[in-house]
Amino acid sequence: MSTPPSEGETRSQVLRLLGEIAPEADTTSLRPDVSFRDQLDLDSMDFLNFVVALHKEFHIEIPEADYPKYMTLNGCLIQLSAARS
């Protein structure tokens, strides 16, 4: 068994995926509890691409009904840590 990645690592992975979707956005000053859409001007196509990227990176299933849980950085970290345990 490999050691599970730390929250810091997961966080930087998520930020990298966001950066790939919105290359011009400054993800370093992202507020963790405010929705990505409001901060990064993501539209529904961007958000779908982000969810697909999370699915591919972390090998998790994300039903459409759960999308709202992934709309903030903190939300993503909570979901990803729950999926791992």
Partner 1 sequence: MAEFLMPTLGADMTDGTLVQWKKKEGDRIAKGESIAEVDTEKAVIDVESHTTGIIERLITRPGDKIPVGTVMAIIREEGRPTARVASSRSVTAPPAPPPPAQRTESGAAAPSQAGRLRMSPAARKLAAERGIDASTLQGTGPEGAITLEDIERATTTPADIAKPVGAADRQARMRQTIAAAMARSKRDIPHYYLSTTIDMDRAITWLKDTNERRPVTERLLYSVLLIKAVALALRRVPELNALWKDGEAGRSERIHIGTAISLRQGGLVAPALHDADRLSLSELMQNFQDLVKRARAGSLRSSELSDPTITVTSLGEQGVETVFGVIYPPQVALVGFGKVVERPWVADGLVVPRPVLMASLSADHRVTDGHRGGLFLAEIDRLLQEPQSL
Binding residues for partner 1, rule: CB under 8 A, are 22, 24, 41, 43-45, 48-49, 51-52, 55, 61-65
| Nearest distance, CB of residue 61 and partner 1, angstroms | 7
Q: Which is nearer to partner 1, 52 or 83 (CB)?
A: 52
Contact in structure between 47 and 36 (CB atoms under 8 Å): yes
Q: Which is nearer to partner 1, 16 or 55 (CB)?
A: 55
Q: Which is nearer to partner 1, 7 or 16 (CB)?
A: 16
> Of the candidates 48, 39, 40, which has an alpha carbon nearest to the alpha carbon of residue 24?
40
Structure-token pair, residue 3: 């050691």
| Nearest distance, CB of residue 40 and partner 1, angstroms | 9
The neighbour count for residue 48, using CB atoms within 10 Å, is: 14
Structure-token pair, residue 55: 């699915």
